[in-house]
Amino acid sequence: MDQSYAESIASDIMQMLETTKASGLDMNSGFQNDAFKSDHFLFGYIFYPRETLLNVSNLPQSVRKKVKKSNILGTVSVDGKTVGIHLVCSLPMGFDEITSKEDIIAGVNEKELIEFKEQIAKILHKDLVGNIEKKEGMEQ
């Protein structure tokens, strides 16, 4: 696993947890955060407790096996349609008990994090190439 990427994501998630805690929301009931948004795509996180996640219909058995007390899913949406949901982290403690990015790193699901990263990279690459082609077409 790319340790620096995992650390970067863990730092971002820790910031989201601290912001949510400061806002006074009940962190352990679940919440979501949009990490990056543009006109055409959205990358975000859903923070679900075990009970909520296990009640999601059609949740694959492979994902059910990884579900713990607190779960962080990376989401990818393109033009308003969800195209990817990745269980990037599963933790044996409540969201309000997470105190460091090391806690988050310890719960990372490596395969899911890599898939999340790759899906984002493909979308950003496609968007960048499309914007360059549009710009070049306008200059002619």
pLDDT at 134 over 60: no
Cβ 72 vs Cβ 112: under 8 Å:
no
101-120 pLDDT tens trace: 999 999 999 999 999 999 99
According to DSSP, residue 35 is labeled: E
What rounded mean pLDDT belongs to the chain? 88
Is there a contact between 42 and 60 (Cβ–Cβ < 8 Å)? no
As a whole number of angstroms, the distance between CA 27 and CA 77 comes to 24
